[in-house]
Amino acid sequence: MAYDGLLLSGLTNELDKELAGGRIDKIQQYSNDDVVLIIRADRANKRLLLSSNKSYPRMHLTTQFVAQSPANPPMFCMLLRKHLEGGRVQRVSQFKRERIVFIDIETYDELGERAVRRLVIEVMGRHSNILLLDRPDGTIIDATTHMSKAANRHREVLPGRPYEYPPHISKADPLYETEKGFLEKRTVDPHTPIHKFLAEHYMGISPFFGKEVLYHRDLLTHVDALGEWRIFADLLQAALDHQQPVILRDKLGHMFAFYVFVPRHVTGELLLCESVNECVDQFYSARAMSDIARAKTANYLRLVRQERDKAVARAQKFSDLLAAGNDAEAWRVAGELLTAYLHEVPRGASTVTLANFYDGEQPLTIELDPAKTPLDNANAYFKRYAKYKKGLAITAEQLSLASEDARYLESVLHELEHCRVDEIPAIEAELREAGFLPTEKVKPRKESGPGKPGKRGGSKAPDKTGPTREKPTFPVYCATDDTPIWVGRNNRENDLITFKTAKKSDLWLHVKNAPGSHVILPVANPTAAAIYDAALLAAHFSQLRDSSKVEVDVVPVRQLWRPNRARPGFTLFEGQETIVVTMDKTRIEALLTTLGKSPRRLMDTAQEEAR
């Protein structure tokens, strides 16, 4: 991937055309590094994402970035709202060919006079930052990351300090380079490989672009400095024209690179995009959102793994106790033999060998406690046997509970590892209901004054029902023949679609012998294509999603049941058919794009039944 100055140049040009003159209606900050400006331009609301994330710094228009806003906005967000909300975007520009973008915004200050504020976005890896200046090239009002001289000897990034450009911006701008200037630089430095030469002498040139130049150079023989210049100029013009933004995917369908034109030095499946903004948004959306979700679920993942390991250990312990049945039978036999041959057992002996009349009079050696009499030793063996038999039913019950907890926590672990940011609250609520997280306490309202509740001068009676619980919904996809497919994203939604929404005649699908989503085909007599599409979704939303072939169980809902007091998502069934699906990435992606596009009437029916 290459979020370099050349790509940023094309992206900035698109933003300037789309946002210039637009009004900033709303500002949201989802984390310390991610800010979204909602800008009204050309009769449409456009979401501009500014991110100083150290792993994925970027800026682009987004339709796929979805995150939950914090209850209390950060101070930087409040400051941006104070200075920028209601303002109009004058222009979006790039500093030379560097990864620095300026957004000039016309607004009004505290005195009601016109003022121009400047947002500076520095897309520079771990040094990325978002700054607000009181005017172009003015002083810093605030920034997402502060740096003092102690942390950065080159410049200070603190409120009230003048804005200084990052150091080492002394390279040439490739946009204004000439053939003569290039040849002069190459004459002074003729032995450096061309891809390293370009990165050392020109702004905005990434190793990705340099390797593309090197690839075209190696296709030819005896290329001199003039030939290198022509290759460089042609590819530079292609990058500046951003003729065909493209994303490259590997054999597994994972996106690994993108650029403003089709590169030839890397191979992969091409995903063509209509604009640079769309290209960047698609490439980073899954990665960045998975990072945000991973950060938010880190504590839950650690907790669930610990609880699962404890449940597995408990299940193993109880299983070992049940497996001790042969030993328990030996205790009973030892007691019987000691009682029958009591007169032959000497006092104070540590062992005794007696004829086992349960095994053809074969000799059996029995261990004894020398401090006890032979009768006391026999009673001790009977007591151990009776204790085991008495606890057998309890041990079997505890084994079942521990195994169920382990299975349930494994399914929650799968949910947490693959959830989106907006799905985390539902999983958190599920863990609270299951008792693995403490229940949130609702603070009672304080009465505002004297008087009876509900009367003038008093407060309303406190709500004893607790916080309002959000009713779960579920996604609806569409098969190739327009059949709706319901998918549960977590155990609560699995129970919702399976036991509360689906009809007895509907088909239920689930991956075989692995955690995964419940999938419902809510139509009578679905086609074979619809069943196969639903099975593909069941395999995709499961722990076996990276396998090449997956077995999926298919059974009518009438043949499902759940035991009493079972954990959420636990289902038993019989009479299932098992089909094998091949994980066709192209077909799965086509199915995923149909989210919310199922027939309106059927979707409305599903959501109404869910409520």
In three-state secondary structure terms, 392 is: helix
CB 52 within 8 A of CB 145: yes
Distance of CA 374 to the CA centre of its chain: 66
Helix runs in 435-583, H state only: 491-495, 528-540
Fold entry, domain 5-143: ibrinogen binding protein from staphylococcus aureus fold (2.30.310)
Residue 259's SS3 state is strand
Q: Which residue ranges in the chain fall short of pLDDT 70? A: 1, 68, 168-169, 242, 286, 289-292, 324-326, 440-472, 597-611
Domain extents in the chain: 5-143, 174-272, 476-610
Question: How many whole angstroms separate alpha carbon 497 and alpha carbon 522?
Answer: 10
Q: Which amino acid is at 360?
A: G
> What is d(CA 255, CA 271) in angstroms, rounded to the nearest whole number?
9
Helix 276-323, helix 5-19: angle, nearest 10 = 110
- Find, among 463, 429, 426, 469, the residue nearest to 445 by Cα: 463
61: which residues sit within 8 A by CB, 6+ positions away?
Answer: 14, 15, 18, 46, 47, 48, 49, 277, 281
Other beta carbons within 10 Å of 17: 11
pLDDT of 168 reads 66
Beta-carbon contacts of 314 under 8 Å, excluding residues fewer than 6 positions away, are: 398, 402, 405
Number of neighbours of residue 383 by Cβ within 10 angstroms: 12
Instruction: Supply the DSSP string of 563-601, one letter for each residue.
Output: -TTPPTT--EE-S-EEEEEE--HHHHHHHHTTTT-S-HH
Q: Pull the structure tokens for residue 69.
A: 């806003």
Q: What does DSSP assign to residue 515?
A: -
Three-class SS state of 192? coil
Each residue of 175-190: pLDDT tens digit?
Answer: 889 999 999 999 999 9
SS3 content of the chain, % helix, strand, coil (to 5): 40, 20, 40
Q: What local confidence, expressed as pLDDT, does residue 443 receive?
A: 53
> Helical H runs in 512-584?
528-540
pLDDT of residue 419: 77
User: How many Cα atoms occupy the beta-carbon half-sphere of 79 within 13 Å?
Assistant: 17
End-to-end CA, the chain? 44
Nearest CA among 108, 129, 112, 101 for reference residue 23: 108
262/283 Cα distance (integer angstroms)? 15
Non-local (6+) Cβ contacts of 240 within 8 A are 6, 9, 10, 175
pLDDT digits (tens, 9 = 90+) for 25-62: 999 998 888 999 999 999 999 999 999 988 889 999 99
